[in-house]
Chains A and B, each alone.
Chain A
Amino acid sequence: MSSLDAVPEEVHKFSAEVGTRDPVTVVGGRTQWNVGGAPDGSAREVVAPSGIWSHEPEEMTVRCGAGTPLTELSEQLAQHGQMVPFDMPPNATVGGVLSVGRSGLRRLRYGHIRDLVLQIRHIDSNGEIVTSGGPTVKNVSGYDLCRLMVGSLGKLGCLAEVTLRCLPMPETTRWLTGAADPFEVYARLYRPSSILWNGEQVWVCLEGVSSDVEAEAALLDLTEVEGPPLLPSGGRSSVEPKALKDLSADDGNWIAEIGVGIIHSDKPSTAQQISKTNESLMREIERRLDPNGRLNPGRQVVSL
Chain B
Amino acid sequence: MQISPHVNLLNDLRSVLGDRARDGDFELGLYGKDGSVLQGQASIVCLPVDTAEVRQIVEICRHHDRPFLARGSGTGLAGGAVPVGDPVIIATAKMNQIIEVDLENRIAWVEPGVLNLDLTKELTPRGFHFAPDPSSQQVCSIGGNVANNSGGPHCLAYGVTSAHVAAIEVVLPDGSVTVLGDLSAEPPGYDLRGLFVGSEGTMGVATKVAVRLTPNPPAIRTLLLDFPDVRDGAATVSAIIAAGLIPAALEMMDKRAIEIVEAFVNAGYPTEADAVLLVELDGLPGGVEHGVEVVRSVAERHQVGNIRVAADNEERELLWKGRKNAFGAVARIKPDYYLHDTVVPRGKLVEVLDKVYKIADAYDLIAVNVFHAGDGNLHPILAYDSDEKGVLERVHAAGRAIITASIEAGGVLSGEHGIGLEKRDYMGMLFTAHDMATQDMVREAFDPQGFANPLKVLPSGSRCSDSFGQHVPDGAWV
Interface string of B174-186 (1 = CB under 8 A from A): 0011111011111
Please measure, in the bound complex, the distance between the C-alpha atom of A59 and the C-alpha atom of B348, giving whole angstroms. Answer: 10
Chain B residues contacting A302 (CB-CB under 8 Å) are: 188-190
Stretch at the interface among B240-248, B261-269, B382-390: B240-248
Q: Is the CB of B185 within 8 A of A140?
A: no
Q: Is the CB of A58 within 8 A of B430?
A: no
Q: Check: B229 CB closer than 8 A to any chain A CB.
A: no
Q: Is the CB of B184 within 8 A of A190?
A: no
Please measure, in the bound complex, the distance between the C-alpha atom of A130 and the C-alpha atom of B286, giving whole angstroms. Answer: 44
Q: Is the CB of B445 within 8 A of A281?
A: yes
Q: Check: B199 CB closer than 8 A to any chain A CB.
A: yes
Q: Check: A200 CB closer than 8 A to any chain B CB.
A: no
Q: Is the CB of A1 within 8 A of B188?
A: no
Q: Is the CB of B179 within 8 A of A275?
A: yes
Contact of B343 among A139, A152, A257 (CB under 8 A): A139
Please measure, in the bound complex, the distance between the C-alpha atom of A137 and the C-alpha atom of B284, giving whole angstroms. Answer: 25
Beyond the given A130-B438, A136-B375, A212-B283, please list 7 additional residue pairs across the A-B interface where CB-CB is below 8 A: A136-B410, A138-B376, A138-B415, A143-B439, A143-B442, A171-B290, A208-B283
Q: Check: B192 CB closer than 8 A to any chain A CB.
A: yes
Chain B residues contacting A141 (CB-CB under 8 Å) are: 412-414, 419, 423, 427, 430-431
Chain B residues contacting A56 (CB-CB under 8 Å) are: 345, 347
Chain A residues contacting B430 (CB-CB under 8 Å) are: 2-3, 134, 141-142
Chain A residues contacting B242 (CB-CB under 8 Å) are: 57-58
Chain B residues contacting A266 (CB-CB under 8 Å) are: none
Q: Check: B285 CB closer than 8 A to any chain A CB.
A: yes
User: Given A57-B242, A137-B376, A302-B190, are A4 and B432 also a contact pair (CB < 8 Å)?
Assistant: yes
Interface string of A155-192 (1 = CB under 8 A from B): 01000000000011101000000000000000000110
Q: Check: A303 CB closer than 8 A to any chain B CB.
A: yes
Q: Is the CB of A134 within 8 A of B412?
A: yes
Closest B residue to A167 by beta carbon equals B246
Q: Is the CB of A272 within 8 A of B187?
A: yes
Interface size on B, residues (CB 8 A): 90
User: Given A143-B443, A242-B104, are A261 and B185 also a contact pair (CB < 8 Å)?
Assistant: yes
Q: Is the CB of A102 within 8 A of B442?
A: no
Chain A residues contacting B435 (CB-CB under 8 Å) are: 3, 130-132, 142
Q: Is the CB of B415 within 8 A of A140?
A: yes
Within 8 A of B (CB), among A193-250: 208-212, 215-216, 238-242, 245
Within 8 A of B (CB), among A32-61: 56-61
Please measure, in the bound complex, the distance between the C-alpha atom of A138 and the C-alpha atom of B245, giving whole angstroms. Answer: 17
Q: Is the CB of B104 within 8 A of A136?
A: no
Pairs across A and B, CB under 8 Å, 12 listed: A102-B186, A138-B415, A141-B431, A144-B199, A156-B190, A209-B284, A238-B186, A238-B187, A240-B183, A272-B187, A288-B445, A289-B438
Q: Check: B344 CB closer than 8 A to any chain A CB.
A: yes
Please measure, in the bound complex, the distance between the C-alpha atom of A142 and the C-alpha atom of B345, giving whole angstroms. Answer: 19
Within 8 A of A (CB), among B146-200: 148-149, 151, 155, 159-160, 162-163, 172, 176-180, 182-192, 194-195, 197-199
Please measure, in the bound complex, the distance between the C-alpha atom of A243 and the C-alpha atom of B244, giving whole angstroms. Answer: 37
Chain A residues contacting B423 (CB-CB under 8 Å) are: 141
Chain B residues contacting A130 (CB-CB under 8 Å) are: 434-435, 438
Please measure, in the bound complex, the distance between the C-alpha atom of A261 and the C-alpha atom of B181, giving whole angstroms. Answer: 14
Q: Check: A262 CB closer than 8 A to any chain B CB.
A: yes
Please measure, in the bound complex, the distance between the C-alpha atom of A59 and the C-alpha atom of B432, giving whole angstroms. Answer: 25
Closest B residue to A80 by beta carbon equals B244
Please measure, in the bound complex, the distance between the C-alpha atom of A39 and the C-alpha atom of B144, giving whole angstroms. Answer: 41
Q: Is the CB of A190 within 8 A of B431?
A: no
Q: Check: B444 CB closer than 8 A to any chain A CB.
A: yes
Closest A residue to B343 by beta carbon equals A136
Q: Check: B208 CB closer than 8 A to any chain A CB.
A: no
Please measure, in the bound complex, the distance between the C-alpha atom of A242 and the C-alpha atom of B443, giving whole angstroms. Answer: 34
Q: Check: A278 CB closer than 8 A to any chain B CB.
A: yes
Within 8 A of A (CB), among B388-422: 407-408, 410-419
Please measure, in the bound complex, the distance between the C-alpha atom of A141 and the C-alpha atom of B287, giving whole angstroms. Answer: 34
Chain A residues contacting B106 (CB-CB under 8 Å) are: 241, 259
A-B CB proximity, top 5 nearest: A147-B194, A211-B286, A58-B242, A261-B185, A284-B445
Please measure, in the bound complex, the distance between the C-alpha atom of A19 and the C-alpha atom of B192, giving whole angstroms. Answer: 28
Nearest-Cβ distance from residue B352 to partner chain A, whole angstroms: 12
Contact of A115 among B159, B182, B432, B436 (CB under 8 A): B159
Closest A residue to B238 by beta carbon equals A58
Please measure, in the bound complex, the distance between the C-alpha atom of A268 and the C-alpha atom of B160, giving whole angstroms. Answer: 35
Please measure, in the bound complex, the distance between the C-alpha atom of A132 and the C-alpha atom of B431, giving whole angstroms. Answer: 8
Interface centre among A1, A139, A150, A240 (most CB of B within 10 A): A139
Q: Is the CB of B198 within 8 A of A140?
A: yes
Interface centre among A81, A103, A145 (most CB of B within 10 A): A145
Q: Check: B7 CB closer than 8 A to any chain A CB.
A: no
Interface centre among A57, A103, A238, A302 (most CB of B within 10 A): A238
Please measure, in the bound complex, the distance between the C-alpha atom of A288 and the C-alpha atom of B183, giving whole angstroms. Answer: 28
Contact of B189 among A145, A190, A282 (CB under 8 A): A282
Please measure, in the bound complex, the distance between the C-alpha atom of A1 and the C-alpha atom of B176, giving whole angstroms. Answer: 42
Q: Is the CB of B105 within 8 A of A241?
A: yes
Chain B residues contacting A216 (CB-CB under 8 Å) are: 284
Q: Is the CB of B162 within 8 A of A147?
A: yes
Q: Is the CB of B172 within 8 A of A139?
A: no
Nearest-Cβ distance from residue A265 to partner chain B, whole angstroms: 14
Q: Is the CB of B345 within 8 A of A143?
A: no
Q: Is the CB of B410 within 8 A of A147?
A: no
Please measure, in the bound complex, the distance between the C-alpha atom of A143 and the C-alpha atom of B287, giving whole angstroms. Answer: 36
Interface string of A262-299 (1 = CB under 8 A from B): 10000000011111011101101100110000000000
Contact of B162 among A136, A144, A156, A288 (CB under 8 A): A144
Chain B residues contacting A81 (CB-CB under 8 Å) are: 244
Q: Check: A90 CB closer than 8 A to any chain B CB.
A: no
Chain B residues contacting A12 (CB-CB under 8 Å) are: none
Q: Check: B429 CB closer than 8 A to any chain A CB.
A: yes
Nearest-Cβ distance from residue B208 to partner chain A, whole angstroms: 15
Please measure, in the bound complex, the distance between the C-alpha atom of A168 and the C-alpha atom of B375, giving whole angstroms. Answer: 15
Chain A residues contacting B431 (CB-CB under 8 Å) are: 2-3, 131, 141-142
Q: Check: B55 CB closer than 8 A to any chain A CB.
A: no
Within 8 A of A (CB), among B221-276: 238-239, 241-242, 244-246
Nearest-Cβ distance from residue B2 to partner chain A, whole angstroms: 38
Chain B residues contacting A135 (CB-CB under 8 Å) are: 345, 410, 412
Please measure, in the bound complex, the distance between the C-alpha atom of A271 and the C-alpha atom of B188, giving whole angstroms. Answer: 8
